Amino acid sequence: MAQPTGAVLGIDPGIGTTGYGVVDEDGSGNVVLIAYGAIETTPGAPMPERLKTLHDAALALMRQHQPESVAVEQLFFGRNVTTAITVGQARGVVLLAAAQAGLDVFEYKPAEVKQALSGYGNADKRQMQEMVRLLLNLDHIPRPDDAADAIAIAVCHLQSRRIRRLKIEN
């Protein structure tokens, strides 16, 4: 197998559950899943404690897997302002951890991730999860959902990185 080109840590931030997925590609351009899971914080714990837990776990993941870069979902502002604020705080902590680790951060809108994986910017959650399973040749959809979302974000970045590299070469 050819040498990997540089792992990407995908993050789907949330204050209760933050999904993560580490992917790379082999020399043939096949996406390889290295690790995935979720960072969970204690419900009801004070917000500063939850943010510290998230920060410390994100930094530990970055040190463990030594990705080339981090891909994070941009904040989608829906109807629930309180949720948007807490997700924003979680994103901020992840961005801080990436900066402390000296990693480049790339941010993607949900529609960009959907377009990159399914070819359809309005794909639903189930379609996206199935595309992650198919692209990585997995028997099952990764769980929890936040981890599957994080893997999708990382794969989106791999595709974006390929395009940027092709542009540089030409």
Q: Give the chain's largest Cα–Cα span.
A: 53
Tokens (6 digits) for 79: 């109807």
Is position 146 annotated as part of the catalytic site? yes
Sign of torsion over alpha carbons 23, 121, 80, 144: negative
**Annotated active-site residue in 24, 25, 112, 146:** 146
**Annotated active-site residue in 24, 73, 112, 149:** 73
**Annotated active-site residue in 12, 25, 112, 149:** 12
Is position 25 annotated as part of the catalytic site? no
Contact present, 24 and 6 (Cβ < 8 Å) = yes
Is position 124 annotated as part of the catalytic site? no
Selection from 76, 65, 70 nearest residue 93 by Cα: 70
By annotation, the residues acting in catalysis are: 12, 73, 146
